[in-house]
A and B are shown apart, each in its own frame.
Chain A
Amino acid sequence: MERGGAAPDRVYFDYAGFAPVDPRVLAVMRPFLEAGIGNPSAPHSLGSEARESLEAARAKVARLVGGSTSGVVFTSGATEANNLAIRGVVLRAPAGARHVISSAVEHISVLNACRDLEKAGAAVTLLPVDGEGRVSPDEVRRAIRPDTALVSIGAACAEIGTTQPVTDIARITRAAGIPLHVDAVGALGRMPLAGAAMGFDLMTLSSNDLYGPPGAGALWVKPGVKIAPQILGGGQEGGYRSGTENLPALVGLGVAAELMRAEVAHGEPARLAGLRDRLVERLLAAVPDCRLTGSRSARLPHHVSLVLRGAKADSILLDLDLCGVAASSGSACAQRTGTPSHVLRAIGCAPQEMEGSLCFTLGRWSTTAEVDAVIERLPPIVSRLRSLALPASR
């Protein structure tokens, strides 16, 4: 694994958008794709081997999540897991008790699942956040009603990197006897999270977020929490997610979860935080009219998000790409619609800032040399684009 050296030609700082699959994960997956394997539900010996591999993967995911193995429901990814958690819990609740609490900075799969429930007659409270994107535990307490069926708060905001006080929120939901769903994408393996010990009831994870293959994920459900399945069929995954399991990808997810656990033990979050801090400090010093979005201290260790005045993100990203740097604006939705992102609106960004939103997410193969390359390449791009911009558009 490269950890330094000369200025790299290519810099990949869009790990939150897509993470490279770890070669060690691929090596374990390969025989499951190339050799004959069975269907985990089949009665023959190949089927029972497949079943054993699937259950081994489930145990590995449970260890990373910090919860019981039987609670792991494999899905096609985090979006499906979020849908299963939110729709699953709320639609299982009695018709008169379908109030869900979430926040204004959640992932679109959480927000749209809530909106769909709202259309079906459920009540939804989206909590505001402070200027750093933090949800206040007191606001959660105040929002709880007799008909509240679920609280869903992400462990961290993918767009601005702010981590949420999920332990404090869990104390409140546990005392109120209301299930808490935590979308742990971005946070699992990067900040301390232990589902059962922290009092979570449901937890979403993504395989690719852990350097596993895309198209796989899981929802961990605490034993005793009732959910209604959202995909019906042959009753795989304990009946909670029908459809023949994607065994190669799920075996890969299992290995990815084990590697993530080992990596945490070896101090990877601290290494990433060091790179992050170097990038933040030097960029803020080198680029005028630029500020960090989200929290400085309560922040994912691999996440840097900035807003700049007087230059548009699209143009900056294009120029960065031309000089070998892959980054993002933080919100694919906002990019597609040309409207300000819901997260930047929720934290009260000025309209002039919202157009210049940049997001750099680092990962397992990120190096100091890559960080330094961005520090060198970004400032002249911004200054050139600002000089081209008409005063009226500034």
Chain B
Amino acid sequence: MATAPKVLIPDKEIDCIGLFCPIPIVKTREAIHGMSVGELLAMLSDDPASDADMRSWCRGTGHDLVEVTREGGVYRFLVRKTR
């Protein structure tokens, strides 16, 4: 029997829809700063550049980009704080 996909529930969610680079990353950085290691942050953005920006930011900072989904032009990034 197939197991249902695991639904990840974020500990915090920030809405950056309508905002452009660098603000989604700046707000993500601020939000992560106030969270505990292991917690999950969801960030919503419709900036076409945010996919590349978030991947680059997570690579640079070491935080774990757990999931990226896109629906109707809106990205939802799930980031786990690692340090």
Q: How far is the CB of A40 from chain B (nearest CB, A)?
A: 33
Cβ-closest 8 pairs across A and B: A337-B25, A112-B20, A333-B22, A337-B22, A115-B48, A339-B57, A118-B48, A336-B22
Among B47, B60, B73, point to the contact of A339 (Cβ < 8 A): B60
A residues in contact with B56, CB < 8 Å: 339-340
A192 on the interface (CB 8 Å rule)?
A: no
- Of chain B, the residue at the smallest CB distance from A333 is B22
The reply to whether A338 and B60 form a contact with Cβ atoms under 8 Å apart is: yes
Interface residues in B, total, Cβ within 8 A: 16
Please measure, in the bound complex, the distance between the C-alpha atom of A136 and the C-alpha atom of B19, giving whole angstroms: 31
- For chain B, residues 23 to 82, give those with C-beta under 8 angstroms from any C-beta of chain A: 25-26, 29, 46-49, 53, 56-57, 60-61, 73
Please measure, in the bound complex, the distance between the C-alpha atom of A156 and the C-alpha atom of B41, giving whole angstroms: 39
A residues in contact with B20, CB < 8 Å: 108, 112, 115-116
The reply to whether B60 and A112 form a contact with Cβ atoms under 8 Å apart is: no
Q: How far is the CB of B74 from chain A (nearest CB, A)?
A: 10
Please measure, in the bound complex, the distance between the C-alpha atom of A342 and the C-alpha atom of B62, giving whole angstroms: 19
The reply to whether B29 and A338 form a contact with Cβ atoms under 8 Å apart is: yes
- Of chain A, the residue at the smallest CB distance from B26 is A336
Chain A contact surface mostly:
helix
Among A119, A333, A337, point to the contact of B73 (Cβ < 8 A): A119
B21 on the interface (CB 8 Å rule)?
A: yes
18 additional contacts (CB under 8 A) given A115-B48, A337-B29, A337-B53: A108-B20, A108-B21, A108-B22, A115-B21, A116-B20, A119-B46, A119-B48, A333-B22, A336-B22, A337-B21, A337-B57, A338-B29, A338-B57, A338-B61, A339-B56, A339-B57, A339-B60, A340-B56
Please measure, in the bound complex, the distance between the C-alpha atom of A267 and the C-alpha atom of B21, giving whole angstroms: 39
Please measure, in the bound complex, the distance between the C-alpha atom of A368 and the C-alpha atom of B22, giving whole angstroms: 36
Please measure, in the bound complex, the distance between the C-alpha atom of A111 and the C-alpha atom of B49, giving whole angstroms: 10
Q: How far is the CB of A354 from chain B (nearest CB, A)?
A: 10
Please measure, in the bound complex, the distance between the C-alpha atom of A115 and the C-alpha atom of B50, giving whole angstroms: 10
A-B contact pairs, 5 of them (CB 8 A): A116-B20, A119-B48, A337-B22, A337-B25, A340-B60
B residues in contact with A115, CB < 8 Å: 20-21, 47-49
Please measure, in the bound complex, the distance between the C-alpha atom of A119 and the C-alpha atom of B56, giving whole angstroms: 21
- Of chain B, the residue at the smallest CB distance from A108 is B21
The reply to whether A333 and B48 form a contact with Cβ atoms under 8 Å apart is: no
Please measure, in the bound complex, the distance between the C-alpha atom of A338 and the C-alpha atom of B47, giving whole angstroms: 18
Q: How far is the CB of B71 from chain A (nearest CB, A)?
A: 14
- Of chain A, the residue at the smallest CB distance from B73 is A119
Contact with B along A77-112 (1 / 0, CB 8 A): 000000000000000000000000000000010011
A residues in contact with B57, CB < 8 Å: 337-339
B residues in contact with A108, CB < 8 Å: 20-22
B residues in contact with A334, CB < 8 Å: 22
B residues in contact with A336, CB < 8 Å: 22, 25-26
Identify the interface centre among B20, B26, B61: most chain A CB within 10 Å of its CB. Answer: B20
Contact with B along A254-285 (1 / 0, CB 8 A): 00000000000000000000000000000000
- For chain A, residues 305 to 362, give those with C-beta under 8 angstroms from any C-beta of chain B: 333-334, 336-340
- Of chain B, the residue at the smallest CB distance from A331 is B22
The reply to whether B48 and A339 form a contact with Cβ atoms under 8 Å apart is: no
B residues in contact with A338, CB < 8 Å: 29, 57, 60-61
Q: How far is the CB of B19 from chain A (nearest CB, A)?
A: 10
Please measure, in the bound complex, the distance between the C-alpha atom of A115 and the C-alpha atom of B48, giving whole angstroms: 6
Q: How far is the CB of A387 from chain B (nearest CB, A)?
A: 24
B residues in contact with A119, CB < 8 Å: 46, 48, 73
Please measure, in the bound complex, the distance between the C-alpha atom of A137 and the C-alpha atom of B25, giving whole angstroms: 33
Q: How far is the CB of B33 from chain A (nearest CB, A)?
A: 11
B residues in contact with A337, CB < 8 Å: 21-22, 25-26, 29, 53, 57
Please measure, in the bound complex, the distance between the C-alpha atom of A112 and the C-alpha atom of B45, giving whole angstroms: 14
Please measure, in the bound complex, the distance between the C-alpha atom of A11 and the C-alpha atom of B1, giving whole angstroms: 71
Please measure, in the bound complex, the distance between the C-alpha atom of A316 and the C-alpha atom of B8, giving whole angstroms: 41
The reply to whether B21 and A333 form a contact with Cβ atoms under 8 Å apart is: yes
A residues in contact with B46, CB < 8 Å: 119
Contact with B along A174-189 (1 / 0, CB 8 A): 0000000000000000
Please measure, in the bound complex, the distance between the C-alpha atom of A339 and the C-alpha atom of B26, giving whole angstroms: 10
The reply to whether B21 and A111 form a contact with Cβ atoms under 8 Å apart is: yes
Q: How far is the CB of B7 from chain A (nearest CB, A)?
A: 28
Known: A108-B21, A119-B73, A333-B22. A339 touches B49 (CB 8 A): no
